[in-house]
Structure 1
Amino acid sequence: MSKPIVAVVGRPNVGKSTLFNMLAGQQISIVKDTPGVTRDRIYAEVTWLDKTFTLIDTGGIEPDSNDIILTQMREQAEIAMETADVIIFMVDVRQGLVDSDGKVADMLRRSKKPVILAVNKVDNFDLMMSDVFEFYNLGIGEPIPISSTAKLGLGELLDEVTKHFYDLPVDDEEDERPRVAIVGKPNVGKSSIVNKLLGENRVIVSDIAGTTRDAIDTTITHDGKEYVFIDTAGIRRKSKVKEDLERYSIIRTVAAVERADVVIVVIDAIDGITEQDAKIAGIAHECGKGVIIAINKWDAIEKTDKTIYEYTRLIRETLAYMAYAELIFVSAVTGQRLPKLFEIIDTIIENRTLRIATGVLNEIMIDATAMQQPPSDKGRRLKLYYITQVAVKPPTFVIFVNSKDLMHFSYTRYIENKIREAFGFRGTSVKMLIRERKEKEQ
């Protein structure tokens, strides 16, 4: 089941990023051990009560005239309407109702997506409510007063946002078909790969618009089994600014990745692996999906007997945090190795739903701690009490310890690697959650 996507839209300086950072909280720090993932985070996973969703900051407007502001706000609204399930439209109580707010509100109203109107910078609810009520004139429902900086009204806002999750079309639970997103920079050959796979399989394609988003899903049959390919090519945006374009393509990538079981990250063999490739791969990693790195245009490379090893080494080094990802060298032009993709997808899907008995996990953990002592700090040593698997897709494990602070990232990874040595989990990320238990709870 993919997580709902919530996008924040609004004029410059209304406080979108402050709200984003406040809601994303500690989440922003996950980036430190994943090199190449965007420094200016534009998406994050947020949990409110029992609901988890992906929050997207459409942001990025720094214009110098009202015309540009309106044009870029319209673009923001378009991208939000295209990818989000719920939209937070943010306005500023101090600036009051502005002409461009009205024009964007008209667009959002026509989108038929749920829109929550957040009136920011309301530092005193008693004194400022009459100014808040002015925003009823936008005609998109009840304005919710908040203050991002003072953390006021955020609970009410999140209640309102998550209320709409119940109304979302549920991905057809009966639909067991593997969902595969093909992502990558522009012009790496994503569409060519899909077209080649289609051609080889002589399938009549019915392009049904994705039920929950506007991406086009393509069904491909291989050996009698159906796979759904999620297209991220989408609309080519006319934007003068490279950052904007990159931001939009990343938002679209996040939306596609969220809906997939397995993500194929396509890299251009001629360009080699770039920072943008690493960012895109990082999205699949953080969303906990199965990952295949497909190096396309392999037919166009002059090769010696060492070329493939050199390439593999470079990619593994750049994406060191996702050593589990499967690598395959393909050509959309000649069709080289493309059929093998289906075999890898099947294996990854099997690994994503693998469950391991608690007894076996604890044996692995006991052996691992015997081989490499847990770290200690100022005379306190980390104790690992118990490990159990709590979920699949991706496989998720909880380790109970005496102190979360002592459980360094590197030791968590060490335990993860021991589990992978025993069970493989090739192609899929796994999640390791650390829970603290005081000594006396034992």
Structure 2
Amino acid sequence: MSSKKRVPIISIVGRQNVGKSTLFNALLKKKLAITEDYPGVTRDVLRARVLNPERGLDFILADTPGLDIERPESLEEAVLENAFRQVAESDLVVFLLDLHEVTSYDSRLIDKFRKDPELNQIPVLYCVNKVDHPEDEEDLDSFYKMGLSEILPISAIGRRNLPLLLEKIAFLLPTAKRKNQTTEEGETPSTSTEDFSLAIVGKPNAGKSSLLNALCGYDRAVVSEVAGTTRDSVDTTVTFDGKKIRITDTAGIRRKSDKAEALEFYSYQRTKRTIENSDVVIHLLDALKGFGEFDKKIVGMLQEEGKPFLLAVNKWDAIEDKDNDSFKNYQERLYSRFPLLREIQIITLSAKEKQRIHKMMEMTIDLAARSKKKISTSELNQSLRAWMAEAGRSFSANKPPKMLYCTQVSVSPFHLILFVNHIDYFKSNLLAFIKKKLTEKYNLKGIPIRLELRSDRK
């Protein structure tokens, strides 16, 4: 019998009177902690369970006393000891700072979290409280100069950016639950013993089952020249270069139609769910048939789900009269059909002849590793501001676009939230420029990038 899974703990810490209890109550949406405008009101550690199904969150939130009691009398020393014991048990720390006042104790406490062996392994999200207005978000430079990597401007009393705080918690919490983890009967969710899950998708008869069999070394799936032989998702686990990978060969994706057979429609839905539950996807293409409308729909589905994927062109051995320029010319034809493919890695192979299968798996493992990339808020803001300055007015509307603050909230897709002066000022060509820069600097080829703009003005 397996033991019950431990609920992660998030502790709110900081010196006295920065608004910890106000934030605690705001996140719980009820008043449990005492909040008054004088230091030292919270003497004990308060804990409460937070359930947020929308973001897949289930954690215990702890409100700690102010950690700056300078003269430790007997009671105060016990309070501090209890608070630091609570912090040491945390899975994530929300470190609260005051926009209008940074004290020497703030710096000393930050230094303690960096150097204390009991604390320096715990992820820390630094929240600058009392950022009550959008223009206040431009006053964060002093906090970046303190070397803080994750900074989030909030207003606990005004509930400003609290939904974003929950998004960041879901992003940073190592044991955060993710959506799409509940599966229907017959589906196999990825387990902690696997490094990642891989789905093989494509049109019927593109060679998906042949590829799965080549990877397994035996006939795991039925192979036939009849399109649609695989009616269901077939999965197996393989070990490659020390990585344990669950691989699923999905039913061939066809055009969804009200007149489609019930079995085909069921297979289509199972394929969609397999994509949703996978970490990485190989989109298999028949080299002889090329990239068609159905393939565009598959790419659209992968983009919508935010799944990292690469394009594997199967049956390359069947292409006649190949020369040194054949692959380059084939790529250019793909790009002309669908320009988005320029942002995707492409490899040719032959599943039947087991050619370049090893190289494809090396690329897949690399893609899985790159898809977990987390960039600190301070680095993102530095990069984005530099790129905005580089773009100048060339990509802008009549009025210059201005980014106030940005932060990452998911890895797959690589999702950034940008707080800006006006959404309408950020034209599509500027957003494409930013995506291109992100892809180049952070090696995100094959990983969907989402830029979400937020502003008090639409």
- 391, 394, 401: which one pairs with 2:413? 394
Q: Which residue of 2 aligns with 1:222?
A: 240
Q: Does 1:51 align with 2:70?
A: no
Q: Residue 240 and residue 382 in structure 1: after superposition, are their counterparts in 2 closer, same or farther (change >3 A)?
A: closer
Question: In structure 2, what is the Cα distance between the partners aligned to 1:370 and 1:228?
Answer: 44
Greater share of residues in helix: 1
Matches within 5 A, 1:19-418: 51=54, 171=189, 174-199=192-217, 215-233=233-251, 241=259, 250-302=268-320, 303-373=322-392, 375-377=395-397, 379-418=398-437
Shift of 1:215: 3.2
Q: Residue 435 and residue 348 in structure 1: after superposition, are their counterparts in 2 closer, same or farther (change >3 A)?
A: same
Shift of 1:250: 4.3
Q: Which has the higher contact order (CA 8 A, sep 6+)?
A: 1
Unaligned 5+ segments in structure 1 are: 1-48, 54-163, 208-213
Question: In structure 2, what is the Cα distance between the partners aligned to 1:312 and 1:178?
Answer: 28
Shift of 1:307: 1.1
1:202-250 CA distance string (max 9 Å, x none): 7x9799xxxxxx733211222343211112128999x995698886654
Question: In structure 2, what is the Cα distance between the partners aligned to 1:319 and 1:191?
Answer: 26
Question: In structure 2, what is the Cα distance between the partners aligned to 1:353 and 1:338?
Answer: 23
Shift of 1:365: 1.5
1:142-167 CA distance string (max 9 Å, x none): xxxxxxxxxxxxxxxxxxxxxx9897
Partner SS for 1:370: helix
Partner SS for 1:51: helix
Q: Residue 225 and residue 395 in structure 1: after superposition, are their counterparts in 2 closer, same or farther (change >3 A)?
A: same
Unaligned 5+ segments in structure 2 are: 1-51, 57-178, 223-231
**Worse-superposed segment, 273-282 or 185-194:** 273-282
Q: Which residue of 1 aligns with 2:442?
A: 423
Q: Which amino acid aligns with 1:51?
A: E
1:325-350 CA distance string (max 9 Å, x none): 21110001211101112211111111
Q: Residue 393 and residue 175 in structure 1: after superposition, are their counterparts in 2 closer, same or farther (change >3 A)?
A: farther
Partner SS for 2:355: coil
Shift of 1:359: 2.4
1:163-198 CA distance string (max 9 Å, x none): x98976894652443111111111110000100111
Partner SS for 2:317: helix
Alignment RMSD (CA, Å): 3.6
Partner SS for 2:424: coil
Between Structure 1 and Structure 2, how many residues are aligned?
271
Question: In structure 1, what is the Cα distance between the partners aligned to 2:279 and 2:296?
Answer: 19
Q: Which amino acid aligns with 1:424?
A: N
Q: Which residue of 2 aligns with 1:433?
A: 452
Question: Percent same amino acid among aligned pairs?
Answer: 34
Q: Contact conserved, 1:205 with 1:220, CA < 8 A, in 2?
A: no
Q: Which amino acid aligns with 2:434?
A: I
Question: In structure 2, what is the Cα distance between the partners aligned to 1:215 and 1:371?
Answer: 47
Question: In structure 2, what is the Cα distance between the partners aligned to 1:223 and 1:177?
Answer: 11
Question: In structure 1, what is the Cα distance between the partners aligned to 2:358 and 2:260?
Answer: 35
Partner SS for 2:297: helix
| Higher-Rg member (1/2) | 2
Q: Which residue of 2 aligns with 1:86?
A: none
TM-score, normalization: structure 2? 0.52
Q: Residue 363 and residue 236 in structure 1: after superposition, are their counterparts in 2 closer, same or farther (change >3 A)?
A: closer
Question: In structure 1, what is the Cα distance between the partners aligned to 2:247 and 2:190?
Answer: 16
